[in-house]
Structure 1
C-alpha cells in the first residue's frame, strides 16, 4: 500500500474521530474499560484481527486503558490499511465494552 499524503490523512481522520495523529506518521487511540479483563478481551480480539490482516499495532495495556498505535512500516507512514483497521478496532471496542 502507498503512503497517504497529509491531506489524505486529514480526510481519513474524519472517519475515525476518536483517533489522533501523532508524529505525522501514527494514529493513536486510548480505549477505556470498566475492568481490566474487558481490556484484555479487547486486546485478544485486536490481536486476532491484526494477525488476519498481517498488520500489527503497538499495544499498551495500562490497567483499564488500552492504547493502540498504528502505522505502516513499509510505507514509512500511514496507509489506507491503517484507517481500515482503526475502524475495525472501533467496532470491536463497541462489542467488547458492552
Structure 2
C-alpha cells in the first residue's frame, strides 16, 4: 500500500472524527466501555479482524478504556488500509457497546 500524503490524511481524518493523528504516522482512538469485559470482548474482535487483514494495531487495555493505534510499517506512515480498519473498528465498537 502507498503512504498517504498530509492532505489525504487530513481528508480521511475528517471522515473519521473520533480518530486523531499521533506523531505524524499513527492514528489513534480511545474507546470507553461501561463494563471491563465488554472492552476485552472488543479487543478480541479487533484482534480477529486485524489478523484476517494481516494488519495489526497497538492495543492498550486500561480497565474500561481501550486505546487503539495503527500505522503501516512497510509504508512508513498511514495508508488507506489504516483508515479502512479504523472504520471497521468503530463498527465493532458500536456492536459491542450495545450490550
TM-score with structure 2 setting the length? 0.98
- Cα RMSD (Å): 0.3
Which residues of structure 1 form unaligned runs of 5+?
A: none
Runs of 4+ residues over 4 Å off in structure 1: none
Aligned-pair CA distance for 1:89? 0.1
CA distance in 2, matches of 1:57, 1:10: 20
Alignment match, 1:26: 26
- Size of the aligned set, in residue pairs, is 98
- Give the SS at the match of 2:67: strand
Structure 1 residue 15, shift from structure 2 partner: 1.2
* Unpaired stretches in structure 2, ≥5 consecutive residues: none
- Alignment TM-score, normalising by the size of structure 1: 0.99
